[in-house]
Amino acid sequence: MLPPDNHVHSQWSWDALAGSMERTCLRAVELGLSSVAFTEHADFTAWTLRPGEKVPEEWRSLLAEGVLNPPSFDLDGYRSCLESCRERYPGLRILSGVELSEPHWHAFPVGILLGAGGFERVLASVHSAPTADGSGFTEVSARYDDQPPADVVRAYLAETVRLIEQFDAFEVLAHIDYPVRYWPADGKPYYPYDFEEEYRHVLRSLAATGKVLEVNTRVPLHPQVLAWWRQEGGQAISFASDAHDPAALARGFRDAVQVAEVSGFRQGRDPHAFWRRS
């Protein structure tokens, strides 16, 4: 059996334009997944767009003077949809959840949301970086336009350490290798060993808190990162497709399971639980 997919988006995430909680649950049943967590985006960082950058029609109302302001999370709508999916798919364990972007920058609204939400899976993420001139923020991938790729990754990992040190109310660190998704195809390939010290720093900080490292399959997590996680004292991992549409649910899980097993992690007695070190 595939492990639980602990990081999935539906129509309740503002950037999941093809998302559907209903059809994702149906897909989970088809795949024989034991559980799925709908960890919708809670974003509070506004992004300065690049000159001439286009956004989908659906996001036009979020734009003001070249800045994209993420909408607030519709907790009531999300909850009632989750309840109706639980009724419709009683054999599937459907967990509530949230993916918090840069929660250490937004402690106040994040605290209110977590208090109201009572989420079963709380993921913490870094998706944003300061703009080159420091006047605002941008999606991390935009920094490849004006910064050497290695610097983008190093800045990302340093921000991730600050997140772990400054914010405690989460369970799973999402996509430690997020910038790798956008690594420029021209030029030197991405090589995780170039960032060993920086990865280890993040992993050591995370292990000290007893939290969980995510194995996000949007790009396969390099096995060496999981080996470092184990060496730095990491105890548990969480599998995550980060699907934004039903077809992407649990994508890449078979390969990720193999990598996790050779890296010294295994499923415990409870198939719904995080995998632990063996």
Q: Which one of the spans 25-33, 143-151, 152-160, 235-243 is the region binding Zn ion (CB under 5 A)?
A: 235-243
Q: Where are the alpha helices (DSSP H) in the chain?
A: 21-31, 75-88, 107-117, 149-166, 196-209, 223-231, 253-262
On whether the CB atoms of residues 268 and 30 are closer than 8 A, the answer is: no
Q: Which is nearer to Zn ion, 99 or 102 (CB)?
A: 99
CB of 99 to Zn ion, least distance (A): 5
Rounded to whole angstroms, how far apart are CA atoms 115 and 246?
A: 29
CB of 11 to Zn ion, least distance (A): 14
CB of 41 to Zn ion, least distance (A): 7
- The reply on whether position 40 binds Zn ion by CB under 5 A is no
Rounded to whole angstroms, how far apart are CA atoms 153 and 141?
A: 10
- Which of residues 242, 243, 253, 259 is near Zn ion by CB under 5 A? 242
- The reply on whether position 216 binds Zn ion by CB under 5 A is no
- Which of residues 6, 35, 125, 138 is near Zn ion by CB under 5 A? 125
- The reply on whether position 10 binds Zn ion by CB under 5 A is no
Instruction: List the structure tokens of 120.
Output: 């079963």
3-class state of residue 112 by DSSP: helix
- DSSP for 23-44 reads HHHHHHHHHT-SEEEEEEEE--
Q: Which is nearer to Zn ion, 124 or 230 (CB)?
A: 124
The residues binding Zn ion (CB under 5 A) are 99, 125, 242
